[in-house]
Structure 1
Amino acid sequence: MTDIQEWEGQLEQELAEIRRSGDRLADAVAAVRGRGEGRGVLVEVDAGGDITDTADKQPSGVCRLEHVPLV
């Protein structure tokens, strides 16, 4: 029985590490930004599709960019 208990303990530790890694990955993905320029306007978009910055500094308020590729 000891071998099975040790193995379960090891699996629990590995699972905890996988969860921590997943949390770190989720944080890193949330920080991803994309930039595109079209017609002289530079736009920065986060991973969720929200515009986070523009070159001409439009008034505050979050705009959604849905399925529009920035070229």
Structure 2
Amino acid sequence: MPRTWTCPYWVREEKRCIVCQAAQLRFTDRTAFAEFAGRYCSSVSGWRDCTLARFCTEQYEKSTSTEEYR
């Protein structure tokens, strides 16, 4: 069954690899890949708990708040 990626920072999937706007994550096996993706990248609310997604959100919020004052 195809996975639905819900994280707004997800870019693409490769063999045992997830590419997002913050990083490229390579996993040693499909099980580790599936566990991480299921917990964070393709979880409707779980992506917000991902450290990488939180970093991207913080950077986005900083860039939009500073643009208002330019």
Fold shared by both chains (TM-score > 0.5): no
TM-score computed with the length of structure 1 as normaliser: 0.32
TM-score by length of 2: 0.33
**Between Structure 1 and Structure 2, whose CA radius of gyration is higher?**
1
State the structure with bigger RCO (CA 8 A, min sep 6), 1 or 2: 2
Structure (1 or 2) with the greater helix fraction: 2
Question: Which one has a larger percent strand, Structure 1 or Structure 2?
Answer: 1
